[in-house]
Structure 1
Amino acid sequence: MTPLPLIYNPAARGGRSRVPQKALSQVAEAFGFALELWPTRAPGHAEELAADARKQGLPAVAVWGGDGTYNEAARGLCNGETAMLPLPGGTTSVLIYELGLSRKPLEALRQQLAGSPRKLHLGRTDRGQVFLLMLSAGPDSLILYNLPWVLKRYAGKVGITLQAVAEFFRAQLPAFEVRGNGTTLSAGWCIVGNSRFYGGPFPATPGADPFRPGLEAVVQTRRGRLSAIPFFFGIPFGRHLQQKGVVRFAAAEVSLTGEGRIPYQLDGDPAGFLPVTARASEDHVWVWLPA
C-alpha cells in the first residue's frame, strides 16, 4: 500500500481533539493507502513534516488540525505535487467549509480519496508569508494578538468570545489605511480574502476564489465600536456588506499601513504588525476535492 502520512497537532482543541486512528486507517486502506501518524512537536513543525512527505514523492498527506496547521502544511507543500488532505480537527477549520468537505473526519477523508486533484492558489505577503484563507487587520487581529494561549488552547471558541468582549470595550480600536486599485481608504477593519469564508461557514469575502489567482478586500471605513460591533455580528448573516461605510473590491495587491503596533492575522493566527501587503500569487498547493 502507498503510505499516507497524517500530520496532526496533539494540542488541537487543548488536546481534546483525538485522532480516530483505527477508523481513519480503515478508510485509507479501502483506497490503497496505509495511514501513518506524524505528530507535530512545536509550532512550525507541520511545515517540516509536509516538506518531508513532498521530498519522498508521496502523492498526498492528510492534515488533522485547524487552519493554522493547514497553513503550516501548505508552506511545506507549496508548488509541489504532493496534495494536502485537510481533516477537521481544530477549533474552527474554516478551510473545510471552503472545500465543501464534511465536518466528520472519516467522511471528509473518504470524500477526498474518492475525489480528484485541483490546484488551490495561495495568497502571499511582502514578507514571504502564505495564506490559504485571508489576511485581516482590525478588532479580530487585536483579539487574537491579545488572546492568552491558555484561553485559546483550552477554551476554544468560548475563549475567543470572551476576549472579543474585552477588546470591543477597550478605549481604542485600530485605525489604519488600506490601498488597493489605486485608491486609499481610511479603515477600522479590513479583511483581504483569498477564499470566501471567515470564522466558520460565513462568506465574509464572497467574491474570493482560491482556485484562481486574485483577492477580494472588504473594508470597514468607519472606525470605533459603533461600527465594529455591527460589522462583526453582520458577517454570519452576510449583512456586513450592506452596512454604511463598507467598501468591497477585487485586487491583485492590497496594502495596509498604520502608526503604532497594529497586528494583523493570517488564517486565524497572529502574523505580525502593519505595514503589510497582501498579494495574489501563482503559488499553489494541490488538494483533492469531492467528486
Structure 2
Amino acid sequence: MNITVIFNPTAGGGRARRLRHFVRALEQGGARVRLYHTRAPGDATRYLNALAHQGECVVAAGGDGTTNDVINGVKPGVALALFPIGTANVLARELNLPRKPEEAARVVLEGRTLNITPALLNGRRFLVMAGVGYDAWVVDQVDLIAKRRIGKLAYAVSMLRQVFRYGEVRFRVTVDGRPLDCFSAVISNGRYYGGSFILSRQANLSRRSVQVLLFQRPGRLFLLRCLAALLLGRMERVDGVASLSAERVTVTAPGLEPVQTDGDPAGFLPAEIELEAEPVAVRVPWA
C-alpha cells in the first residue's frame, strides 16, 4: 500500500516522536510511506493538489484543522485516515480512533472503510462543523501562541472573553429554504464538540445531512445555560435552541462576521453550505 502522511509539526505542540513510531509501524506493516511536514495553513491542500499520485490513502497527522486542510486536497478514489495528535481531535473522537501510534497504524492498514459525505462551505470542504456568531468569535480571537503552549485552555480563555459579545448580532439562517433568525449557529456533521462534549445527539456522520443548531435567544444568561448544557450533553434540550436536519443552509448577517470550520477561521459571511455529491472513504476501526 502506498500512503502519504501529512504531518503538522505545530499541532498540539508537536508530536515528532509519536510520528516516528507511527511511520515505522506503517512500514513494518508493508506500506510505502511518503511523509510531508506542513509549513503554514493551506500547505497540505497545495501539496496534495500538486501530487500526480497520492497513493491509496492519505493520513492527516494532526488535529481537526490539519484534517480539514488535508481533506481539501484528497483526490477522488483516495481514502482518508487520521493519526490524532492535535489540540482538538473531534473527528477522531467521533470515529473512535486510537491515539497510540501502533494502533493507529493498524487502523490505516487493516481497518474498515466508512463513507462520510463532506459538507461544503462556499465550495470548501469540512468534515466536522461550521459555526457563526459566538462559536466563530471564539475561534477567530483565540491566541495562537497560547494555543501552542496550553492547547485547549486557549479556547476556554477565548470563550470567556467572547461571552460579553453574545446577542449583539442577529443572523438569518435559511435551512432547506426555511428562513430563521438566531444569535449564533453551529452546523455539524457529527455529535461531538470541543473534543469530548456531545453537541447533538441527532447528528450522524454516516447520514447524508448536517445538523443545524440555532441559538434563538439573546442574553448572556441564556448562553451560559447553553454552555452548561453542553457539558452535560443536553444542548438540544435547552429551551431556545432549535436543532434541525438539513441538506442546504445559507447564513447572512449585517456587517463583516467571521465563520469557522473544524476549529479554524474560514472567512466571512455570507455562507452557503451544501453537501458534496460524493462521499469520502475514511479508515476506521472494526466494530
TM-score by length of 2: 0.91
State whether structure 2 residue 198 is matched by structure 1 residue 203.
yes
Structure 1 spans left out of the alignment, 5+ residues:
none
Deviation of residue 217 (structure 1)?
0.7
Give the match for residue 87 of structure 1.
83
- The answer on whether the counterparts of 2:117 and 2:279 sit within 8 Å (CA) in structure 1 is yes
Deviations 1:167-212 (A, max 9, x none): 1134864421222144322211211112222211223133222333
Give the match for residue 104 of structure 1.
100
Of 268-277 and 279-288, more deviation after overlay is shown by: 279-288
Supply the distance in 2 between the matched residues of 1:214 and 1:100 (Cα, whole angstroms).
Answer: 21
Deviation of residue 8 (structure 1)?
0.4
Supply the distance in 2 between the matched residues of 1:21 and 1:268 (Cα, whole angstroms).
Answer: 22
Give the match for residue 222 of structure 1.
217
Give the match for residue 6 of structure 1.
5
Give the match for residue 283 of structure 2.
288
Give the match for residue 24 of structure 1.
22
Supply the distance in 2 between the matched residues of 1:254 and 1:23 (Cα, whole angstroms).
Answer: 42
Counterpart of 1:13 in structure 2: which amino acid?
G
Q: Which aligned pairs between 1:84-233 and structure 2 lie closer than 5 A?
A: 84-125=80-121, 127-170=122-165, 173-233=168-228
The correspondence for 2:231, drawn from 222, 231, 236, is 236
Alignment partner of 2:201: what SS?
A: coil
Deviation of residue 57 (structure 1)?
5.0
Supply the distance in 1 between the matched residues of 2:148 and 2:20 (Cα, whole angstroms).
Answer: 26
Give the match for residue 250 of structure 2.
255
Give the match for residue 58 of structure 1.
55
Supply the distance in 2 between the matched residues of 1:94 and 1:104 (Cα, whole angstroms).
Answer: 16
Counterpart of 2:283 in structure 1: which amino acid?
W
Supply the distance in 1 between the matched residues of 2:43 and 2:197 (Cα, whole angstroms).
Answer: 29
Change (3 A) 1:262 1:23: same
The correspondence for 2:64, drawn from 67, 75, 78, is 67
Change (3 A) 1:21 1:272: closer
Supply the distance in 2 between the matched residues of 1:171 and 1:122 (Cα, whole angstroms).
Answer: 29
Q: How many residues align?
A: 286
Counterpart of 1:178 in structure 2: which amino acid?
V
Alignment partner of 2:213: what SS?
A: strand
Deviation of residue 88 (structure 1)?
0.8
Counterpart of 1:122 in structure 2: which amino acid?
P
Deviations 1:152-178 (A, max 9, x none): 232321111111111113486442122
Supply the distance in 2 between the matched residues of 1:18 and 1:173 (Cα, whole angstroms).
Answer: 43
Structure 2 spans left out of the alignment, 5+ residues:
none
Alignment partner of 1:77: what SS?
A: coil
- The answer on whether the counterparts of 1:64 and 1:89 sit within 8 Å (CA) in structure 2 is yes
Alignment partner of 1:282: what SS?
A: coil
